Amino acid sequence: MIFPRSFLFSAAIATLASTSKAADYGVDCSFPIHSTDSSCGDLLGDRAAVYNEYMDGCRKHWGEKGAKRCNAAEADRLSMSQTQPQSMVNYTETGFKKLKAPPKLWELISNYWETNKDEKKLEVWPMGNIYTNNWAAPTYMVSVENDQLPGGGHGLKDQIWEAARPTIEAWTGMKLQPTSQYGIRVYTEGAILSPHVDRLPLVSSCIINVAQDVDEDWVLEVYDRHDNAVNVTMEPGDMVLYESGSLVHGRPFAMKGRFFANIFIHFEPTGEHLYDDGSEELDDFYPPYLKANSPWLDTWAKQNPSGWRKTSPSAAAVAQPITLKGHTAAASGDIETLERLALDDMKALYARDPNGWTPLHEAARAGHLDVVRLLVEKHNADMNYITNEGKGSSPYFIATQSHSPDHPVSQYFKSLGAVYQGPEL
């Protein structure tokens, strides 16, 4: 069920408050969101101690160099949480809604989980990442993109997007295009997810709880349009729709139990309305979900110097059809085909699919060292190219996530000093 956070906390949840008001606290009480200064007193217990332990854990884990990144990433989270939401177009009244996942969507996800749940891989987070306390409570991933797993691969990923899209489109009233989907993330005991807003273009999204084994509800804390905290509890098959680029959301109270597995499915509005034939007059540079003259515009422009229409993966795919022959050959380890493409269709070796993946990313995920070396050493493939418009993953990160830090492909990228970057969430 969904209910206002009307709990009083000490070290853990104690008793229900008698009040029936929408919420009994706002931002910066359970966890810093806009500022590390809190005026909540001991309403929720000593949350300052929880936060200090959280940040100290990041600093100690990453050492002196990484500590600076922890601090910078935290400053960035606070800045985004304060500035980005006020810059976003709101497509719904509440910003979130809970329902049951559509049968087809749930069948795809639950079947894949049951088949591959024992194949989860440890997530290796980028240095200084502060969105989860992964140094204390490791997270694992069952990638839906991994075609080495039964039923996995881009085909499944596309099916999940298409099965989720109608529900989120109906809720927002806007036509949507896919932006991000990694797989089923498995959180472990003690996990905390710091409240945040998602990086653009993650705008119109959903969370689906796939499975859990907990001793008490691990609540999703969201903040309504008036910055009041609201608790959302989830059971397997529950789906929470949320405007992830503008709605502050997180799980600031440590998970008690063995595991909690979610999948996150993200879209962005195209600017075209679902229920009529009209569309917004689109800006030549800024995306339709950012308000004119809003405070986040300058930051967005610096991050996307080519503008929205030119950088959108989906728009690029429509404007210029691509060949995925190189992707297929790299994923299967087919060096003969890659060499032939180098003579007949060199562009296929560097082509990017709608999510920004290149053949090198595919080879890294499949673990084909010979293909990786061929693409990097002979054909000068960019080993540091980041998917999803610079907000996704590098080949080195993908190799480590798909296999291990000790895998030959991971060690190869490490020996070259390749960039190790993965998505923050």
Domain that residue 333 falls in:
321-415
- Burial level of 166, CB count in 10 A (0-12/13-18/19+)? middle
Rounded Cα distance between 83 and 89, Å, is 13
365 plus 276 within the same structural domain: no
- Burial level of 110, CB count in 10 A (0-12/13-18/19+)? middle
CATH of residue 152's domain is 2.60.120.620
Domain membership flag for residue 250: yes
Task: Say yes or no to pLDDT of 160 above 80.
Answer: yes
Q: What is the pLDDT of residues 165-210, one digit of tens each?
A: 999 999 999 999 998 887 999 999 999 999 999 988 899 999 999 9
For the chain, what is the domain count? 2
Q: Chain-wide mean pLDDT for the chain?
A: 86
Q: What is the pLDDT of residues 336-380, one digit of tens each?
A: 888 888 888 888 898 888 778 999 999 999 899 989 999 988 888
Domain membership flag for residue 6: no
Give the pLDDT mean for 134-154.
90
278 plus 326 within the same structural domain: no
Residue 322 is which amino acid? I
265 plus 348 within the same structural domain: no
Q: What is the pLDDT of residues 308-333, one digit of tens each?
A: 864 444 333 333 344 688 998 898 88
Task: Single out the residue of 203, 193, 225 nearest to residue 30, CA to CA.
Answer: 193
Domain membership flag for residue 65: no
Question: How far is residue 308 from each of residues 274, 315, 324, 351, 391, measured CA to CA in Å?
Answer: 20, 9, 24, 20, 14
Rounded Cα distance between 397 and 314, Å, is 23
CB 46, CB 29: distance < 8 Å? no
Which of 260, 282, 304 marks a domain boundary?
Answer: 282
Which of 282, 305, 331 marks a domain boundary?
Answer: 282
Domain membership flag for residue 56: no
Q: Which two tokens stand for residue 4?
A: 């206002």
Q: What is the pLDDT of residues 14-32, one digit of tens each?
A: 322 222 234 478 999 999 9
For 333, the 3-state DSSP assignment is coil
Sign of the dihedral defined by the CA atoms of residues 391, 139, 47, 248, in that order:
positive
Question: How far is residue 196 from each of residues 31, 34, 146, measured CA to CA in Å?
Answer: 10, 10, 28
